[in-house]
Structure 1
Amino acid sequence: MHECCNYDDGNCILLDDGEECVCVQSISYSLLCKWFRCAILPLDEPLETALLFREELKRCVVCGQPFLPGSNRAKYCKPCAKKVHRRQKTASDRKRRVLCGQLEAKKPCIY
């Protein structure tokens, strides 16, 4: 079942110029029509990434979802990167405060 608004009984309405034109996506799994690339994919980022950037995908270390890295050092998808960075910054700040004497080191609990 096709959900393209230009799909009509195996033909593409958008490419119809008086003669019926077969929808390229109905005859091939590797071809994407121009309308689909321009109108549908920009609205669905995970689908766009999965279809267009297969070789360049990495898996997030935290959640395991595939993502398109911005550099060769990227290990996390955007939502996880924010959380991990916040945790790392908090730990770094806490360590710095302990070393400066602003916070006391945790004392062992005496019973």
Structure 2
Amino acid sequence: MTYPQYRRTRKLVHECCNYAGGNCIALDDGEECICVQSISYSLLCKWFKAAVLPLDKGLETALLFRDELKRCIICGQPFLPGSNRAKYCKVCATGVHRRQKAQSERKRRLNRGQLEAKKS
């Protein structure tokens, strides 16, 4: 885990329902126990992994699916592809597909004579 990822993880730890003032309620066995996720550079807490980490999709993808990641061609952000042909993250894919559809419709209308050719 890199330092920026560690900082984002530390901020998320405060969202955990077992976190109480730096201590972990789930590990409490009569005496207070410090939250291990708040001091570690790795993912140790199963509860944090299952319940809290999904709140930050980018961080979850970067930490859990490191080997399966691809980079978006448009924005360069890592994303988890749905297929082996995926080239764009979900945010960029909607814009790219919208432009491709508009271009395809313009071409179809031009071929049917519904639009005039662009005047140069």
Letter paired with 1:13: I
Deviation, structure 1 residue 35: 1.9
Deviation, structure 1 residue 63: 0.8
Q: Percent identity?
A: 73
Letter paired with 1:107: K
1:86-110 deviation per Cα after TM superposition (whole angstroms, max 9, x unaligned)? 10011111011111111111233xx
Alignment equivalent of 2:26, drawn from 6, 9, 14: 14
- Give the distance between the partners of 2:21 and 2:47, measured in 1 at CA: 15
Distance change >3 Å, CA 7–CA 54, structure 1 → 2: farther
Q: Does the 8 Å contact 2:43/2:49 carry over to 1?
A: no
Letter paired with 1:82: T
Flag the structure with more relative contact order, 1 or 2, with Cα contacts below 8 A and sequence separation at least 6.
Answer: 2
Q: 4+ residue runs of structure 1 moved beyond 6 angstroms?
A: none
Aligned to 1:51: 63
Number of residue pairs matched?
107
The answer as to 2:33 corresponding to 1:33 is no
The TM-score, its normalising length taken from structure 2, stands at 0.73
The TM-score, its normalising length taken from structure 1, stands at 0.79
Aligned to 2:100: 88
**Structure 1 residues not aligned, in runs of 5+:** none
Deviation, structure 1 residue 8: 5.7
Q: Which has the larger radius of gyration?
A: 1
Alignment equivalent of 2:109, drawn from 91, 94, 97: 97
Q: Does the 8 Å contact 2:61/2:80 carry over to 1?
A: yes
1:7-31 deviation per Cα after TM superposition (whole angstroms, max 9, x unaligned)? 666x533212235556443564233
Q: Does the 8 Å contact 1:60/1:67 carry over to 2?
A: yes
Letter paired with 2:43: L
Letter paired with 1:59: R
Moved more, 39-48 or 66-75: 39-48
Instruction: Tell me the SS of whatever aligns to 1:70.
Output: coil
